Amino acid sequence: MSELNIRPARPEDAKEVAPLIYSSGPRAFEFIFSNGKKQACLGFLQDCFTRKSLMFSYEHHHVVEDQGQVVAIIGAFTKRSMGKTQLSTGIQIIRYLGILGGFKSLLRGLKFERKLVKPPLIDCYYICHVGVRADYQGLGIGEKMVAFIESVAHEKGISKLSLDVSVINPRAQKLYERLGFSVIETNESYDNLLDDHRYMESSL
């Protein structure tokens, strides 16, 4: 493995990163966007990634490269930047999934945001869509990406990092705790197809 490089994501990364984004929350993605159909979910994420002004757009993500191959991804939002994506993301959901399927996904997504994984607070830089290729896990890439996002938050003058982690992913929670995050609250799932989530913050 050569020296890893973190760079802004590009539209042409879509095919490589869609499975990585999906891996950050497969049960949630399938529940909201595809009724349990993984390939349909991957297709949606890949399409969105190539477009501007969407929640899953390349604009809000950075990737880690090893010898020209994308091996990891991380996304981050402020309250304002996420808010700007909501209308256009909703429109794209309806375009991609159709009127009936799109409205069902919108309703599921709105309930998910209201009850389980809430939008960023005004003083937080929110980390999301953290995914590392299976053969690169355990090499410190997650820590490297979080440190990079921390430096971006400093540049933006933001005082906290925040994120949500599924309770069935204790390995990720332990990593975040080691990096200075603390559990603020646990949000219980309202559907047996979804996991409970822990909301965590770290002061910079």
Backbone angles phi, psi at 173, to 5 degrees: -60, -40
Q: Given this model, what pLDDT does residue 36 score?
A: 76
Residue 1, pLDDT score: 58
Domains present along the chain, CATH in parentheses: 5-203 (3.40.630.30)
State the pLDDT at residue 174.
97
pLDDT at position 142 is 96
73 contacts 56 by C-beta, under 8 angstroms: no
Q: What angle do CA 107, 114, 100 make, to 5 degrees?
A: 5
Closest CA to 64 of 124, 122, 143: 143
C-alpha distance from residue 34 to each of 134, 143, 177 (Å): 23, 31, 32
pLDDT block averages, 10 residues each, the chain of length 204: 88 98 96 89 96 97 96 98 96 95 95 96 97 96 97 96 97 97 97 97 96
pTM check: above 0.75: yes
- Determine the straight-line distance between the first and last CA of the chain, rounded to whole angstroms: 31
Q: What local confidence, expressed as pLDDT, does residue 35 receive?
A: 78
